[in-house]
A and B are shown apart, each in its own frame.
Chain A
Amino acid sequence: MNKTRQPLFHIVKRGETPWYFGWGVRAISIVLALLCCGLITTLVTGENPFQFFATVIDGSFGSSRKFMVLLQNTAMLLCIALALTPAFKMRFWNIGGEGQALAGALAAAACMILMKDLPNLVVIPCMVVTSLLAGAVWGAVPAFFKAKFGTNETLFTLMMNYVATQIVAYFSVVWENPKGSGSIGVINPISKIGWFPDLFGSKYALNIIIVVLVTVGMFIYLNYTKHGYEISVVGESERTARYIGIKVEKIVIRTMLISGAICGLAGLLLVGGTNHTLNSAIVDGRGFTAVMVSWLAKFNPIWMVLTSFLLVFLQRGAGEIATDFGLNASFGDILTGVILFFIIGGEFFITYKLILTKSSKKEEK
Chain B
Amino acid sequence: MFEAILSFLPRAIAQGIPLLYGSTGEIVTQKSGNMNLGIPGVMYVGGICGVIGAFLYEQSLPSPDAINSFLAVLIPTLFCLLGSLLMGLLFCFLTVTLRANQNVTGLAMTTFGVGFGNFFGGSLVKLSGADMPFLALSATSNCFKVTLPFADKLGVFGDLVFGYSFLVYLAIAIALIASFLINRTRTGLHLRAVGENPNTADAAGINVNLYKYLATCIGCMIAGLGGLYYVMDYAGGIWANNAFGDRGWLAIALVIFTIWRPNVGVLASFLFGGLYILHMYIPSGMNLAVKELYKMLPYVVTIIVLIISSLRNQRDKQPPQSLGLPYFREDR
**B-contacting residues of A (Cβ < 8 Å)?**
11-13, 93, 95, 145, 149-152, 154-156, 158-163, 165-167, 169-174, 182, 285, 288-289, 291-292, 295-296, 326-334, 336-338, 340-341, 344-345, 347-348, 351-352
Q: B202-241: which residues lie under 8 A (CB-CB) from chain A?
A: 241
Q: Do A162 and B249 form a contact, CB below 8 Å, given A149-B311, A330-B122, A336-B115?
A: yes
Interface contact tally, CB-CB below 8 A: 168
**Does chain A have a CB within 8 A of B310?**
yes
Distance of A235 Cα from B253 Cα, bound (Å): 26
Q: Which residue of B lies closest to A340 (CB)?
A: B108
Q: Do A173 and B289 form a contact, CB below 8 Å, given A156-B306, A166-B295, A330-B114?
A: yes
Chain B residues touching A, range: 35 or more
Inside 8 A of B134's CB, which chain A residues have their CB? none
Please give the distance in Å from B141's CB to the nearest CB on chain A: 23
Inter-subunit contact B112/A169 (CB<8 Å) = no
Q: Do A159 and B253 form a contact, CB below 8 Å, given A337-B111, A338-B112?
A: yes
Distance of A68 Cα from B292 Cα, bound (Å): 35
**Does chain A have a CB within 8 A of B316?**
no
Please give the distance in Å from A283's CB to the nearest CB on chain B: 14
Distance of A166 Cα from B301 Cα, bound (Å): 14
Please give the distance in Å from B133's CB to the nearest CB on chain A: 11
Inside 8 A of B110's CB, which chain A residues have their CB? 288
Q: Do A345 and B100 form a contact, CB below 8 Å, given A145-B310, A158-B252, A334-B112?
A: yes
Inside 8 A of A338's CB, which chain B residues have their CB? 112
Inside 8 A of A174's CB, which chain B residues have their CB? 289
Distance of A118 Cα from B63 Cα, bound (Å): 66
Inside 8 A of B103's CB, which chain A residues have their CB? 93, 95, 154, 291
Partner of A333, one of B101, B115, B250, B311: B115
Inside 8 A of B296's CB, which chain A residues have their CB? 162-163, 165-167
Inter-subunit contact A159/B115 (CB<8 Å) = no
15 CB contacts below 8 A, A to B, read A93-B103, A95-B37, A95-B107, A150-B313, A155-B252, A159-B300, A166-B299, A173-B288, A296-B104, A328-B119, A330-B119, A333-B115, A334-B116, A340-B112, A341-B94
Q: Is the interface of B mostly helix, strand, loop or mixed?
A: helix
Residue-wise interface mask of B (104-146) relative to A, using a CB-CB cutoff of 8 A (1 in contact, 0 not) = 1101111111111111011100100000000000000000000
Distance of A160 Cα from B306 Cα, bound (Å): 12
**Does chain A have a CB within 8 A of B99?**
yes
**Does chain A have a CB within 8 A of B189?**
no
Q: Do A151 and B292 form a contact, CB below 8 Å, given A327-B119, A344-B104?
A: no
Inter-subunit contact A162/B107 (CB<8 Å) = no
Distance of A13 Cα from B326 Cα, bound (Å): 14
**Does chain A have a CB within 8 A of B319?**
yes
Q: Do A170 and B293 form a contact, CB below 8 Å, given A292-B104, A330-B122, A333-B119?
A: yes
Distance of A159 Cα from B298 Cα, bound (Å): 9
Residue-wise interface mask of B (256-298) relative to A, using a CB-CB cutoff of 8 A (1 in contact, 0 not) = 1000000000000000000000000000000011101101100
Q: Do A162 and B115 form a contact, CB below 8 Å, given A155-B256, A170-B289?
A: no
Inter-subunit contact B310/A348 (CB<8 Å) = no
Partner of A151, one of B100, B115, B117, B310: B310
Please give the distance in Å from B328's CB to the nearest CB on chain A: 8
Inter-subunit contact B330/A13 (CB<8 Å) = yes
Distance of A155 Cα from B106 Cα, bound (Å): 13
Inter-subunit contact A336/B111 (CB<8 Å) = yes
Extra inter-chain contacts (11) besides given A169-B292, A330-B116, CB under 8 Å: A93-B103, A95-B103, A158-B252, A159-B253, A162-B246, A296-B104, A338-B112, A340-B112, A344-B108, A348-B97, A348-B99
Please give the distance in Å from B47's CB to the nearest CB on chain A: 14
Inter-subunit contact B118/A328 (CB<8 Å) = yes
B299, B307, B324 interface centre (most CB from chain A within 10 Å): B299
A156, A165, A169, A330 interface centre (most CB from chain B within 10 Å): A330
Inside 8 A of A296's CB, which chain B residues have their CB? 104
Distance of A165 Cα from B256 Cα, bound (Å): 20
Distance of A239 Cα from B307 Cα, bound (Å): 23
Please give the distance in Å from B310's CB to the nearest CB on chain A: 4
Inside 8 A of A344's CB, which chain B residues have their CB? 94, 98, 100-101, 104-105, 108
Distance of A149 Cα from B309 Cα, bound (Å): 10
